Amino acid sequence: MLGHYPTKRSVLVPTLLYAQDEHGFLSDEVIHELAQRLELTDLEVCNVISYYSMLTTKPRGKFNVQVCTNIACLVRGGEELLDHCKQRLGIGKAETTADGLFSLEEVECIGACSWAPAAQVNYDFHENLTPDKMDQILENYKTNESH
Ligand code: FES
């Protein structure tokens, strides 16, 4: 990946995403390894991780459901959607279902304000959501996982 970016530091975010996809989360060992390879300190890597909601240092479910409750989504039912997901999945914020399939997070704007309320599941965006649509989306992930 180094050949595609102008500096070692600029490779950090794509490399973190790649490592997270491979390992499920960014462990201390992964952070240290990347820091060494990119000539950064562990702290510099951790600072970048803490800025991006899609990066995590803790294990998550296979499908990470991120519901936006920022202003555009808030006025269009984002909080109700988050509450619905809690009920539907039987977990709270930053928790993972017992089968390891779903994690739930409340996030700030994910850049889909024109289609609020919106949520992101791993790399997929879902927009103009209602509780019924959300149920269908979660069910689809579950069904596809079992095939
Ligand atoms: S406020 Fe929810 S996507 Fe922007």
Q: Report which residue type is found at 40.
A: L
121, β-bridge pairs: 65, 124
Q: Is 109 in the pocket of ligand 1 (CB under 6 A)?
A: yes
Q: Is 53 in the pocket of ligand 1 (CB under 6 A)?
A: no
Average pLDDT of span 107-136? 96
pLDDT digits (tens, 9 = 90+) for 18-73: 999 999 899 999 999 999 999 999 999 999 999 988 899 999 999 999 999 999 99
Instruction: Tell me the CA–centroid distance for residue 135 and ligand 1, in Å.
Output: 20
d(CA 124, CA 35): 28
pTM of the model as a whole? 0.85
d(CA 97, CA 114): 30
What is the pLDDT confidence band of residue 147, given thresholds at 50, 70 and 90? low
